[in-house]
Each structure stands twice: as structure tokens, then as C-alpha cells.
Structure 1
């Protein structure tokens, strides 16, 4: 066993173990990224990469308690109040910390539309003029409930509002 150098064997072994660990970390990381990244292809407006953090915060914060409606359904002014008010439709919420509030607000402001200054701000989807604009030929049941969205948008719970139920797929 001439020339057998134990320190070189240990060094090669360490490099091998390190390479295997690195590959395992990369595989686990990419699998987790695939699981944790929502598919935003079904949103009303397709989201560029720079808006997806705010959308993820929105879905986590709002969609964990109720159906997260697209920002387009309410006016900008309503979103501005809703994300800062800790009294949310009778439930007491923790304030949203600033590191989450900034990308969340940027997302909601970008994808909602402002009302004229003299208009009353609707805080219910069914009272929003933008909701009606998005549903021009739909006889919407009264009162509008968030649960009712899934009747026409079967993947609404996945934040996919582009896919429609069969009776609406070929509608003009």
C-alpha cells in the first residue's frame, strides 16, 4: 500500500460529501420554491415578477381567512383603508408590518383603479362599480358574497378568475 495518503483520501471524501450535500440542498430548495410559488396565470391581469411578492403577501394575509378577490374588484381608496384598518368587518386583526405593507400596497394600488374624488368608497365587492364593470353581462345574485364567486369561477380559491364554469365559457 505504497503511496496511500490518508489525508488526501479524507480531503477527497470531504469534497464528495460537500458536493452531495450541495446537490441535495439545491433539489430541496427548488422543490420548495415550486410548492411555495403560487401560479398567477389565472389572475385578471397577468402579474410580472416584480408584483408577485405583493400578491403573495395579499394571498397569505387575506386569502387565509376568506376568498381573496382580485384587486380590480375594489377601488384603490378602499384597499388603502382595508389594509391599514385593524377592525376588519368585525374581526380584530394584527397590524400589517411595514416590510409586508409596502409590497402589498404597491400590488393593490397598481392593480386597482381609483374612484373620482367625490365618489363614496364602497367597502363591499357587490357595491363596487369596478365589480360591475368586470361582470357586464352577468346577472349577479344579491347580495354578492365572496363564496358566490366560485359558482362562475371554479378555481377562485386558487386565485384563478380567468377560468370560468362551463355555462360562461362561451359567453360574449
Structure 2
């Protein structure tokens, strides 16, 4: 203890009171800044989007572009439903998107630009999951292990419960059967009969 007090006295002789006050202020500001970051509230969703998972503010534009551009042909599915590696294949080859060339306009739907693709890929990469080693990449959403994990009782409920409307085949076109607000990227709102957590 005596050694510590001696060193403290030596330190005090080397620094003027102004330097000490300045260091204390700088240290206090650093601690305050760190606390402000640590106590920051949960990330906000893009305006009007009721996604399953919130995204950080720097991804809201990317999410909006993804929802707008993908949602112009079919519902924009949450990227977490497919492995990141499948998304990478889809994004890298927009000319071969299930038989449609996304680089060309189709009626009212404008072609994807490089900027659209980059923004969409940034969002998808940040919100999708990796495939397992040697996992066969699914070609359809319904064959994805992530889809099956998030919908564990759907097949059984379709067979056993009366009054529940189930599609014959699950595609991105049929998401709205169970998720009536899917076109607004709202997968939390469920159709009647499904709200029991099936």
C-alpha cells in the first residue's frame, strides 16, 4: 500500500492540476459514451415493416429495397428461411431466377440494378443463416430445414384440423394463405385457426 501511495505522489508531481482534470473529464466522457452504446434500445424496424426480426438502423434501407423489389413479383420471404449459400446463388445469377431474367423489365416491374442487388445482398447476408457442412441446398423454401424448424406442426395440422385452409404445395406464392399480411412483410399476423401457435 505504501508503494502505491508513493507512486501516486510521484505521478501528481509530474502532472499539473489542469492535466489531471482534463484526463478525468476525458475518462468520464469515454465511460459515458460506452454506457450510452450499451444501453441503446433494440434496433428499429423499417417504417411500416412488421418483420419477424428487427434490423439495425443501417439496414432499414436495405430491408426496404429487398421487400419492395422481391415483393413486386412474390412475397418477400424472411431471408432466414433459406441458407445464405442458396441466397448467394440466387443473387449472383439474377438472369436465372427460376426461369425469369431479373435484369430485364417485366411489364410494370422494372429490372434489378446493380445497386438493388448490392443492397439486397447486404440485407440477406446479415439476416440469413449458414448451411451446414455438406448440406444439400434446398431449391424451394418448403424443403429448407429452416422453414421446417419454423413450421414444425403445419403438415400435421393440415391433415388433422378441420377448417384450416392449407395449400396443396407450399411456395412463395402460398405464404399468404397462413400469413395474410405477408405482402407487407408481416409474418406475425396469422390467418384464423393458425393463431394458436400451430
Whole-angstrom distance in 2 between the partners of 1:66 and 1:143 = 15
Structure 2 alignment gaps of length 5 or more: 1-45, 104-110, 159-166
Whole-angstrom distance in 1 between the partners of 2:102 and 2:118 = 18
Q: What do residues 90-110 of structure 1 show as CA deviations (whole Å, max 9, x unaligned)?
A: 111218544333332121011
Q: Report the equivalent of 1:49.
A: 57
Q: Report the equivalent of 1:149.
A: 175
Q: Per-residue deviation at 1:78? A: 0.7
Whole-angstrom distance in 2 between the partners of 1:64 and 1:38 = 18
Report the TM-score when normalising by structure 1: 0.70
Pairwise CA RMSD: 2.0
Structure 1 alignment gaps of length 5 or more: 1-36
| Greater length-normalized contact order (CA 8 Å, ≥ 6 residues apart) | 1
Task: Show the 5 A alignment for 1:82-161.
Answer: 82-85=90-93, 86-94=95-103, 96-139=112-155, 141-161=167-187
Q: Report the equivalent of 1:58.
A: 66
Q: Per-residue deviation at 1:38? A: 4.6
Q: Report the equivalent of 1:167.
A: 193
Q: Report the equivalent of 1:76.
A: 84
Report the TM-score when normalising by structure 2: 0.62
Q: Per-residue deviation at 1:168? A: 1.5
Q: Kindly indicate whether the alpha-carbon contact (under 8 Å) linking 1:154 and 1:163 is maintained by their aligned counterparts in 2.
A: yes
Q: Kindly indicate whether the alpha-carbon contact (under 8 Å) linking 1:74 and 1:123 is maintained by their aligned counterparts in 2.
A: no
Q: Per-residue deviation at 1:134? A: 1.0
Partner-residue secondary structure (3-state), 1:83: helix
Larger CA Rg, structure 1 vs 2: 2
Whole-angstrom distance in 2 between the partners of 1:98 and 1:171 = 40
Whole-angstrom distance in 2 between the partners of 1:129 and 1:73 = 8
- Summarize the Cα distance change of 1:142–1:117 in structure 2 as closer, same or farther, 3 Å threshold: farther
Whole-angstrom distance in 2 between the partners of 1:109 and 1:63 = 18
Q: Per-residue deviation at 1:131? A: 0.6
Runs of 4+ in 1 over 2 A off after TM superposition: 95-103, 140-143
Partner-residue secondary structure (3-state), 1:93: coil
Q: Per-residue deviation at 1:54? A: 1.3
Q: Kindly indicate whether the alpha-carbon contact (under 8 Å) linking 1:75 and 1:113 is maintained by their aligned counterparts in 2.
A: yes
